[in-house]
Amino acid sequence: MVADKSGFLERIIALLDAGGFPYCVIGGVAVNAYAPTMVTQDLDIVLAPDDIARARSLLSEHFKVQEFEHSINVYDPGSKLQVQIQKDPELGLIIGNARRMDVDDMDLPVAAPEDLFRLKAAAAMEPTRRNMKRAKDNMDLARLITEFPHLRALLPEELVEDVTKLLDAP
């Protein structure tokens, strides 16, 4: 992740943990938990759907919070890091499969590789997604396949060519 000298990440995780929120990390940070690290400037979190309003209220007391159609974004003026809490209620189902892992010297619940792979594949196929985001999604899929070869069987046909090029690159 991006350097965060303000302790923003630690403070937000401490609030979620103290509040008893079931959650897990998804996105690039979750991929970094399983594969060699790549820089990212955001932390994507999934909460249980029933907890989103309570979490938004709690986090608003401590940080700048903006709500969007698909996420609640949390910022701290002293950090370049952004935390995005995903609002899709379907995502709450993956929390139960999460694994506790070391992420940047923090013990965090991280989405299971199979769940993360499905999320990354869906993002890569999203027709309105920017090309640079899609390229990063494909790279994340390749990184996960490198660590978990069985995931290749889950790769949607429309992504096979792009992801295979990444896997076969010297």
What confidence tens digit (pLDDT) does each residue in 24-49 have? 999 999 999 999 888 888 899 999 99
Q: For position 81, which CATH number holds? A: 3.30.460.40
What is the pLDDT averaged over residues 153-162?
96
Indicate the SS3 state at residue 21: coil
Quick check: 131 pLDDT over 80? yes
Are 124 and 43 part of one and the same domain? no
- 66, β-bridge pairs: 73
Quick check: 58 pLDDT over 60? yes
Are 140 and 105 part of one and the same domain? no
Are 83 and 123 part of one and the same domain? no
Q: In terms of residue numbers, what domain contains 126?
A: 113-170
Q: How many Å apart are CA 122 and CA 85, to the nearest integer? A: 18
Residues near 91 by beta carbon (within 8 Å), at least 6 away in sequence = 26, 46, 119
Name the domain boundary from 74, 90, 111. 111
C-alpha distances in angstroms, 96 versus 40, 66, 92, 106, 109? Answer: 25, 27, 8, 19, 10
